[in-house]
Amino acid sequence: MILEINEIKTVAGVPTSHPFVARSIGLCRQEFLDHVLFWNAEDLARKLDQYQNYHNETRAHSSLNKKTPNQKQQMMIFQMKCYP
């Protein structure tokens, strides 16, 4: 246990068992953890919250046609209201 964070182990030798989780962790490492210093678990939690807000509200995603997840969600809600 590091920084009082419990790890959850997946199937050994099968990195594709959870590809979406693996990709999310990889992106978090590449875009955030490799570039940011933190002092303790509270500092890390605060900075991860900031990164989550950036990821969902500001960062454009190519899989969402250069939209943010929040913009995509708003579009889907609008479409559901317009086309019941």
How far apart CA 45 and CA 41 sit, in angstroms, is: 6
- Cα torsion 17, 22, 23, 24 to 10°: value is 130
DSSP 8-state secondary structure symbol assigned to residue 36: -
What string of pLDDT tens digits covers the 84 residues of the chain? 456 767 767 676 666 667 777 788 888 889 888 888 999 989 999 999 998 888 888 888 787 888 888 888 887 887 777 776
pLDDT score at 47: 92
For 48-78, letters b (16+ CB in 10 Å) and e give beebeeebeeeeeeeeeeeebeebeeeeeee
pLDDT score at 59: 84
pLDDT score at 46: 93
